[in-house]
Structure 1
Amino acid sequence: MKRFFNYALTLAFLIAGLGTTAAQQYCISLKKPGNPAVRYQLSEQQGQLRANSELPVTIVKKTEQKGDGQSLLTVTITAKERVYFNFGGMMNTAFATADCDFYLPGFWYHKNLRSPRQAPSFHTSKSWNFREDRLSSPLTGVFDSRSGSSLSVMRLLDAPKEALTTHQEGEVIVSGETSLGYLGFDNESGRAALTFGYPYMETPKRYIRKLTLTAPIQAFACLEKGQKKTVSWLITEGKAQDYGQFVANTWNLCMDQMNPQPIKPLYTADEMKAQLSNYFAKGYVDKYALKYHSGHGLRCDDCIPVDHVQLGFCGRVLLNGFNALEYGEQQGNATFVKMGQDIFSSWLENGFTARGYFKEDMHIRNGIPADQDCIHSIRQQSEAVYAVLHYLVYEKKQGRRHKEWEAKMRTLLNQMLLLQKADGSFPRKYRDDHTDVDASGGSTPSATSTLVMGYKYFGDKRYLAAAKRTISYLEENIISKSDYFSSTLDANCEDKEAAISAVTATYYMAMVTKKQERQHYIDLCQKATYFALSWYYLWDVPFAQGQMLGDLNFKSRGWSNVSVENNHIDVFVFELPHIVKWLGEEVKEPRFTQAYNVIYSSLNQLLPTKERLCGIGVPGFNPEVVQHTNWDYGRNGKGFYNDIFAPGWTVASLWEMYSPERTLNFLTKKIK
């Protein structure tokens, strides 16, 4: 960290004209090929940034007041001869680090202390710099809980351009033009400072793949004699009641400034379903006691089904089974209808423990696990109940009743009442005898929608009472603290799915309550929605020629980062777009409506079709791990996918987005 970016001990303050909370510092590093770079401290003199010695560049700094507490900072670097440079700035504050929480959208929340030290967090360092393409909006921000004051620095984007480097660590010269800079923060002095610059660097470590930090990087851009490079940042000071309001205010700022527009869809909803249904045809496995669509651990290049069965999460077995059945009847496809029926029949017969929980995760060639070997997750159990209750409502409409399934759901819901803890929470993972494996309550909102659906289907008010208790826990421990974590099953950290789960839970409650109680749930839903949407890209990250995603003209806006541990983008939305659209109308917030339009229009871009496979071996098997930044699961890197993927949940997620009336009808119409 100190070799690349240590202003705190060496640079003098330059007052930025933004009041007493912020002061700017600058430096430039110049590199001669084959030599170590030399860093020069800069001071402002008559609108220029100068060093103590003559530089082969001129640096003009301009500050323009944009409104109350807001300023536009523009730096123009002009080369007197060919140079390779990296320019950096820092906004110092009077905020004590101990009182501060930081925000880099879609990647850093609070101090990232929910994440392990093998991922970027305060466990490893209190000062970090990141490439802008890691962030859903190119912004770094800090909130001081003691004063309620905040400061953010937002990069105003150039046209997206990217170039490759021959090395991925140390001092590297970019092989062409890149639009990517960096953003971060510095706490070396015990006072918070925000960092920014161009081109990118990452310190004190780079996050290259899951739970893997490695050597830092500092990139250098080339300017030929007479060439200029202009870079701008919007600096905003503000006030907020708490960190949650700060994030909401900052997301609104990003929406207004970046103003992302919908993408012209490549396919209609019907065309999407027609292509995705090929997953039902080619992913089906019927040779075991449990039937399923293979959804976890397939190879991208051939998509051949495997024996790993995951009921919910990655596989979403029952939801895909229901979708195949419903779509088969709509299209007159008897194969899909029988497929769906056989999946449900096999799980009814062989998929439950004696206590009444679903068996979730197995390599089925080894047989179905014994009850005592099962570990359950509240998320996967809830996802399975969600699918079954939708299936039962659909079947009722067709004049078909499944009393055995109803009895199974009653048993499972009643077990959930016994599993719920005194504070209203549910354990994240547990054994069949209700002993905890992971007592964390972060996944509690997964149970809320299940209990509400149980109440709607069976009319049992105990389920609604239990759902209300989950919201009490959610409000006190998650929403009020802006602490969304622990909902994705392969990572236990700050994550998007936790925020989406909170949005969904409060939406379900709003749909089955009235008056002031309903309004309270809407208010909670709105607070959680800002965090969910903060993970979604409002801009298009650049790709270099030869990086497949760029060659496909892929636009990242509308896609979302996964979690701190998993720094790639994907199509995880399920019900979220419909909820965001509804909420935008309910609270009269056009930014939510705009976000819905961007997400809905964007997520079809990588659908594999026969004519446009998008790097996937079989049409309809929508990709999962979309590697949009310099991070991977071990294969291929930026602009490509990992070699292994899980299409079960991606198909289910998109199918849900293209079935906008399903949940609304369940929650608002009488179930006969």
Structure 2
Amino acid sequence: MTPPFEVTVLGPADSTVDSTALMVTQHVTAYDGGRFAVRLTVTAAAAVTAGLRVSLRLGPVADPGWLVPGVFYGENRVAGCRVRYPRFTVDHPDPAALESDAWSFRADRCATPAVFAWDDEGGAALVTTEWSPLGQAGVGFAVDEDEDGGHPVLRLHFPYREEPVVYDGSPVPRPADLPSYTWKPGETASLDFDVYVLGGDRHSYTDVLRDVHGRTAARDLDAVPWVSLAEAADLTAWGLYRWHYRDEDAVLLETAAFDRDALGERGDRQAMHVSWLSGIPHAYALLRHGRRVGDQACVDAASAVLDNITANLTPGGTFWGQWTREGGWNAGWTPDRRRVHARTLGEATVFLQRAVALGRAPALWTAAVGSNVDVACAGQAADGSLGSGYDVETGAVIDRHGTSGLAWIPALVSAGRVTEAQRAGRFYAQAVRDEFLYGAPEDVDLAPTSEDGYLAIMAYVSLYEADGDREWLDLARRAADWTLTFRYTYDVDFPRHTLLGHYDFRSRGADQASPANQHLHAYGLICHRELVRLGEHTGDEYYTRSAEETLACFRQFVAREDGDFNAYRGMVTERYFQTACYQPKGMLLTLSHAWCVGVLLLACEESLG
């Protein structure tokens, strides 16, 4: 039996219309797995301007566990987070502070246009597609209070509504966006969506997303990329070397402007992070490529960058966060200038270890690995937690907020500090089971992000491969399932006049960066190797296919020649704007980012062997 849902006719903005103006009939088909496919046939009795809302009300619960893939995770913004973006709260919400007890979003913000919630008995999901005959669809949720308590209400909108305010990437909200559709007398439209009935296990969202992923399988992956793996590797190696490497400073600059004539060096960010936005992971990829193809220039450039970073450790024994031409070595983007970020340090250490493992590594590199690992181990608490921030002068842990300490685990495993890695794995396991990982990037403070998921995948795959404990494999699987909530299961429909529309960019396989940074990015390629291995260890093709889709997706928009999409050969952008956030939908950020070039090169080299 289909869970009872309600269809409401909504007028323009907050006005009401005669509900009899639209006649609605429904046809429901039941499928295995608790899925009910619903088709609403809507006919206008007279000319009217209106939209429709589908609502599904659950039983009372204290915590609904909201999930809108890529957009909303639980309360979404923890108390004390410095970055402002949509937050759920029933405690005197302030829309001006991007707080509300009810939110609605346009579908293209969502990695899958779906909304999930649970009550004390079980859960449910509403799933739709980006577009309907009434225009772009939307998803939403609210809390309905009665004498029993707060009831989660799941919503779909045709066309979409964004309320109570609109988030466009700025901390200052924009007014609500409430489009309607103008019906002609006698006009009929069919609206399709799915209702899923879920059990009490809140991880069951993955069954729904797997089902959607399987039913919306992309066409042959070979038809998506612009270039082969080998061509992508050659192009990105050239891009890192030509546009980001600066011999005089031995750095990989974080950004290089597409427009070299008008902006030149002034358009390039004169800075290098030691990992994340630049630095060691990407120098490692360049080194690996140079050795594979016999390109000494690439080998020399990558080695110079690694020499530079490892020769300049903090007094506390860690890497610095960032180098800038103006100020030299510094803590990075953390507001506390004494604090270096655990994710930046841990990720740098992991990929330096991989560079050492290639052989012919200077003693300086090995010593830097040992120094960073020693600091991480010295700061590990009795409960197994690792630091999130470290003092540049002493190496002492400054704070343990969030789950960025996961970044250390693969480094500890590789360094033979398996006992410490296991203790950390057990500590962070609860966050994985709670379906909320946060705090990895330096620029969004304590927001949940796709990058937190990448760290968890790398951490638990490394632990499983170290000792074979099936608990780690289960945690790696759960971490991957959560991470793949950020991954687009469909190709966004871009306006044909835009750059992404003109080039027919296929978004399936791309990740939403985070609820705070709503654009598509390629950082998921950082754990391409681990996701493929997880598929092999579990025998689950879902993970393997997901990894392949991401690598295929981002072999689009690699500049093949100077002038390709207004870039230079080997350049790769950071941001693909798939929704109304930061820039209009369909635009492309006209900067090449070292990390975007680097993670694609890394994944290509991993695939090429």
2:410 is the alignment partner of 1:449? yes
Maintained 8 Å contact 1:536/1:561 = yes
2:26 is the alignment partner of 1:61? yes
Maintained 8 Å contact 2:236/2:571 = yes
2:43 is the alignment partner of 1:78? yes
In 2, distance between residues paired with 1:584 and 1:612?
38
Residues 119 and 345 of structure 1: is their aligned pair in 2 closer, same or farther, counting only changes over 3 Å? closer
Amino acid at match of 2:50: F
Aligned to 1:155: 128
Shift of 1:383: 2.0
Q: Which moved more, 1:378-387 or 1:66-75?
A: 66-75
2:389 is the alignment partner of 1:429? yes
In 1, distance between residues paired with 2:161 and 2:368?
55
Residues 450 and 67 of structure 1: is their aligned pair in 2 closer, same or farther, counting only changes over 3 Å? closer
Aligned to 2:547: 596
> Superposition pairs for residues 490-569 of structure 1, below 5 Å?
490-491=443-444, 492-514=446-468, 517=469, 519-569=470-520
Aligned to 2:401: 440
2:3 is the alignment partner of 1:39? no
Amino acid at match of 1:255: H
**What is the aligned counterpart of 1:257 among 199, 215, 231?**
215
Aligned to 1:335: 297
Shift of 1:424: 1.3
**What is the aligned counterpart of 1:485 among 438, 451, 454?**
438
In 2, distance between residues paired with 1:223 and 1:611?
48
Shift of 1:558: 0.4
**What is the aligned counterpart of 1:323 among 253, 275, 285?**
285
Aligned to 1:247: 205
2:586 is the alignment partner of 1:654? no
2:324 is the alignment partner of 1:354? no
Maintained 8 Å contact 1:26/1:41 = no
Residues 389 and 652 of structure 1: is their aligned pair in 2 closer, same or farther, counting only changes over 3 Å? same
Shift of 1:355: 3.3
Per-residue deviation, residues 583-637 of structure 1 (Å, max 9, x unmatched): 223323233233233223222112122266235x3222211111101111xxx32
Amino acid at match of 1:453: S
Amino acid at match of 1:588: G
Maintained 8 Å contact 1:420/1:426 = yes
**What is the aligned counterpart of 1:89 among 29, 54, 72?**
54
Residues 230 and 416 of structure 1: is their aligned pair in 2 closer, same or farther, counting only changes over 3 Å? same
Shift of 1:557: 0.5
In 2, distance between residues paired with 1:196 and 1:441?
32
Aligned to 1:120: 86
2:353 is the alignment partner of 1:389? yes
Aligned to 2:274: 311
Maintained 8 Å contact 2:407/2:455 = yes
SS of the equivalent of 1:215 reads strand
SS of the equivalent of 1:23 reads coil
Q: Which moved more, 1:559-568 or 1:598-607?
A: 598-607
Per-residue deviation, residues 527-554 of structure 1 (Å, max 9, x unmatched): 1110011110001121223222111101
In 2, distance between residues paired with 1:554 and 1:443?
32
Shift of 1:38: 4.2
In 1, distance between residues paired with 2:206 and 2:460?
17
TM-score computed with the length of structure 1 as normaliser: 0.81
> Which ranges in structure 1 are unaligned for 5 or more consecutive residues?
1-16, 43-50, 160-176, 456-462, 666-672
In 2, distance between residues paired with 1:221 and 1:563?
31
Residues 646 and 474 of structure 1: is their aligned pair in 2 closer, same or farther, counting only changes over 3 Å? farther
Residues 41 and 452 of structure 1: is their aligned pair in 2 closer, same or farther, counting only changes over 3 Å? farther
2:200 is the alignment partner of 1:234? no
2:568 is the alignment partner of 1:623? no
Aligned to 1:281: 242
Q: Which moved more, 1:106-115 or 1:494-503?
A: 106-115
Shift of 1:562: 1.0
Aligned to 2:73: 109
Aligned to 2:173: 213
Amino acid at match of 2:288: E
Per-residue deviation, residues 89-128 of structure 1 (Å, max 9, x unmatched): 21122233x2321111111122214375831111411111
Aligned to 1:143: 118
Residues 60 and 420 of structure 1: is their aligned pair in 2 closer, same or farther, counting only changes over 3 Å? same
Q: Which has the larger radius of gyration?
A: 1
Maintained 8 Å contact 2:274/2:309 = no
Per-residue deviation, residues 348-401 of structure 1 (Å, max 9, x unmatched): 43x21233211222322233459995531111112222232222222x2xxx35
**What is the aligned counterpart of 2:587 among 628, 631, 640?**
640
In 1, distance between residues paired with 2:592 and 2:200?
40
In 1, distance between residues paired with 2:546 and 2:568?
31
Q: Which moved more, 1:527-536 or 1:432-441?
A: 432-441
In 2, distance between residues paired with 1:64 and 1:330?
54
SS of the equivalent of 2:9 reads strand
In 1, distance between residues paired with 2:494 and 2:361?
53
Maintained 8 Å contact 2:307/2:364 = no
2:350 is the alignment partner of 1:408? no
SS of the equivalent of 2:88 reads coil
Residues 237 and 560 of structure 1: is their aligned pair in 2 closer, same or farther, counting only changes over 3 Å? same
- The number of equivalent residue pairs is 581
> Which ranges in structure 2 are unaligned for 5 or more consecutive residues?
90-98
Aligned to 2:95: none
Maintained 8 Å contact 1:607/1:614 = no
Per-residue deviation, residues 11-64 of structure 1 (Å, max 9, x unmatched): xxxxxx53xxx4322222355xxxx7742364xxxxxxxx2xxx2x54333334
SS of the equivalent of 1:101 reads coil
In 1, distance between residues paired with 2:549 and 2:305?
35
Q: Aligned residues: percent identity?
A: 17
Residues 183 and 381 of structure 1: is their aligned pair in 2 closer, same or farther, counting only changes over 3 Å? same
Residues 214 and 580 of structure 1: is their aligned pair in 2 closer, same or farther, counting only changes over 3 Å? same
Per-residue deviation, residues 198-244 of structure 1 (Å, max 9, x unmatched): 11111111111143422111112344555432111111112133x2x
Shift of 1:292: 0.6
**What is the aligned counterpart of 2:138 among 182, 188, 204?**
182
Shift of 1:326: 3.4
In 1, distance between residues paired with 2:138 and 2:192?
12
In 1, distance between residues paired with 2:349 and 2:248?
24
Shift of 1:447: 0.2
Residues 594 and 618 of structure 1: is their aligned pair in 2 closer, same or farther, counting only changes over 3 Å? same
Maintained 8 Å contact 1:262/1:598 = no
> Superposition pairs for residues 660-671 of structure 1, below 5 Å?
660=606
SS of the equivalent of 2:343 reads helix
Maintained 8 Å contact 1:210/1:565 = no
Amino acid at match of 1:620: G
Per-residue deviation, residues 315-358 of structure 1 (Å, max 9, x unmatched): 1x123333333333444433323222322333343x21233211
Shift of 1:441: 4.3
Shift of 1:420: 1.6
In 2, distance between residues paired with 1:367 and 1:401?
25
Residues 386 and 586 of structure 1: is their aligned pair in 2 closer, same or farther, counting only changes over 3 Å? closer
